[in-house]
Structure 1
Amino acid sequence: MITAVVLAGYAVLVGAAVPPLLSRASWTHRAPALAVLAWQGLMATFVVAGVLAVYHAALGERHAHEGLAGLITVCGLLVDVVDVADFSVGGAAPAPADALALVAPALIVFLPLGRLVRCAWRADRARRRHLDMLTLVGRPAPEYDATVLDHDVPVVYCLPGRRRRVVVTQGALDALSEEQLRAVLEHERAHVRGRHHLLHLWVDAFSRAFPGLPLARHAKEQTVLLVEMIADDRALRLHPREALAAAMYEVAAGRVPRVALGAGGAGALIRLRRVLSPQPRPHRATWLGVAAASVAAPLLPLLVACLH
């Protein structure tokens, strides 16, 4: 039971105490890719710690810790296989505690996975509908490798996925210079190449699976902003800051479909200040420390559970 309490406390720490601190950290906007890794590490840690805490609370400390078999058993792997095998060949049915120890942790794992599948299915269906609409009302612009919509509001966005598409309105073509337009188009192509929609899907599924959890709320808000910063940085490799900033300002008020990724929208002011006032990258030691902590954090609950 001590192990269950320790693991539950670790899950509470990761799910409630750490997220507000990470969301206010000064280095995250200077290293958005590293910050995304940190948020992913926290979400993985919460799931692992929650699964092991529920497992130990349901099963107690009944299993022997002897050698490799004991290590696997206490981690919840061997006992479930043995119980199911015995039952399948006519042996005694697993004890209620064993069944609970198998089902309860599985729910914690399959809840976000189920939400992920549902969110992915809905997003794919919405993208297909929007692509069908673009086929009817859009016109190709081969010089920009994009589709143009006759709309007066400046908007630029991309539809990721297998039938990826970059969309620009006539209002954006009229409002932006050639350099500004190519800068914001490079921003959208960075989303497509980086498959940033998968990060959106995962944090959306996690937030739906654990509503009210501070980690879920902060991870979704921060990840949405951070992937935009990542795309900004990719565009800045090829285009001047002034061009990208001007383009962001022009398209900031444009509304894009929910399944699309656009250069404007929420967080545009924060990103605009970041583009115009660049800050130095975090020190190499910070990079290595955060990356190591993000990878090690999900492994720590396993270490506590297996070596207690």
Structure 2
Amino acid sequence: MNAAPALIVYTAAVGFVAPRLMLRWSWPHRAPALAAAVWHILVVSFTIGATLTAYNLAMPAEYLHADLVGLLHACGVDMGTAEPDPGMAERLAVGVPAAMGTALGTSFAFHVARARRVRTQHREAVDLVGRRSARLAATVLPYGTPAAYCLPGRDPRIVISDAAVRELTPEQLAAVLKHEQAHIVGRHHLFLAAMEAFHSLFRWLPLARHAREQTALLLEMVADDRALHSHSHEALATAMYEMAAARVPKGALAATGQTVLIRLQRVLGPREAAPPALWGSVAALVVAVPLLPLLIACPPGLG
């Protein structure tokens, strides 16, 4: 039995329906790290499903007319008078998934390299213009607006303006620095690069668009929560408000940005921890979802 129809339905559900469900639920903002993992798992599951779909469409299931070439004949596409070639079907079955995997890997490497190049250039400029502060473990730039951001990667930097050092209280400043440290330690730039790579290949797909946007927001919330472990909500919220107008260079991660209003409401609003049952059920979903397309393609007990 060819599993292509079931895989097509499953992959379409992950690509079009699942993002809408994720956006309607409220729990992701209560457990941003877990929600970010779910978005990444959905991307992985879609990729596996699409790859297996391509394989099953190309590979004959029972008869030669069941493969991709036979499907084209059935749809009225003129492939000549010759019968479908099993060898070509096998090459398609291997080549199409391999091309998809290569494209995703190449896109990820491209986005990582491009962001690294931009950050390296900016890091060199920061080192020339700014002064290193051992007390803050950051580079202080002469800039008239309170601002802070980090340049993650192999040689990371936390950059903060001298206006922020002057105008923020010690606790507010410490909360901002803790936020930036969370981005560096968590290697959030790699997760963002993965979403950029997926989006660059599937721009038309709701999953790609929303996964990129939501991952950026959720990782900021993760960094917020890390700062809130040791600093007050008021200190972080006030610092975010003071720096809301600051511009962030391309390739950098910052406590402010387009999502600052949503995050301010979350930081200052009532805090409701995610219940253990939610953590358990979503964690089980994270483990199970990547396996579903494999189970569809190779159901147990079928030889």
Residues 60-118 of structure 1: CA distance to partner in whole angstroms, max 9, x if unpaired? 3149xxxxxxxxxxxxxxxxxxxxxxxxxxxxx98000000011111222222111010
Measure, in 1, the Cα distance between the counterparts of 2:23 and 2:197. Answer: 19
- Preserved contact between residue 37 and residue 291 of structure 1 (Cα < 8 Å): no
Quote the residue 1:40 is aligned against: 40
User: Structure 2 residue aligned with 1:133, among 125, 135, 160?
Assistant: 125
> SS of 2:251's equivalent?
coil
Structure 1 position 24, deviation (Å) = 2.3
Quote the residue 2:95 is aligned against: 103
- Preserved contact between residue 44 and residue 290 of structure 2 (Cα < 8 Å): yes
Quote the residue 1:296 is aligned against: 288
Quote the residue 1:18 is aligned against: 18
Q: Report the residue type matching 2:278 in the other structure.
A: T
Measure, in 2, the Cα distance between the counterparts of 1:161 and 1:23. Answer: 30
> SS of 1:297's equivalent?
helix
- Preserved contact between residue 140 and residue 146 of structure 1 (Cα < 8 Å): yes
1:170 pairs with 2:162: yes
Quote the residue 1:123 is aligned against: 115
- Preserved contact between residue 16 and residue 213 of structure 1 (Cα < 8 Å): yes
Residues 178-228 of structure 1: CA distance to partner in whole angstroms, max 9, x if unpaired? 111111111000111111111111111111111111000000010000000
TM-score of the superposed pair, with normalisation by structure 2: 0.89
- Aligned-CA RMSD value: 1.5
Quote the residue 2:80 is aligned against: none
Quote the residue 2:145 is aligned against: 153
1:243 pairs with 2:238: no
Quote the residue 2:199 is aligned against: 207
- Preserved contact between residue 220 and residue 255 of structure 2 (Cα < 8 Å): yes
Structure 1 unaligned segments of length 5 or more: list them.
64-92
Quote the residue 1:269 is aligned against: 261
Measure, in 2, the Cα distance between the counterparts of 1:2 and 1:242. Answer: 58
1:50 pairs with 2:50: yes
TM-score of the superposed pair, with normalisation by structure 1: 0.88
Quote the residue 1:231 is aligned against: 223
Structure 2 unaligned segments of length 5 or more: list them.
64-84
Pairs aligned (count): 279
Q: Report the residue type matching 1:24 in the other structure.
A: R
Measure, in 2, the Cα distance between the counterparts of 1:296 and 1:228. Answer: 26
Sequence identity percentage:
48
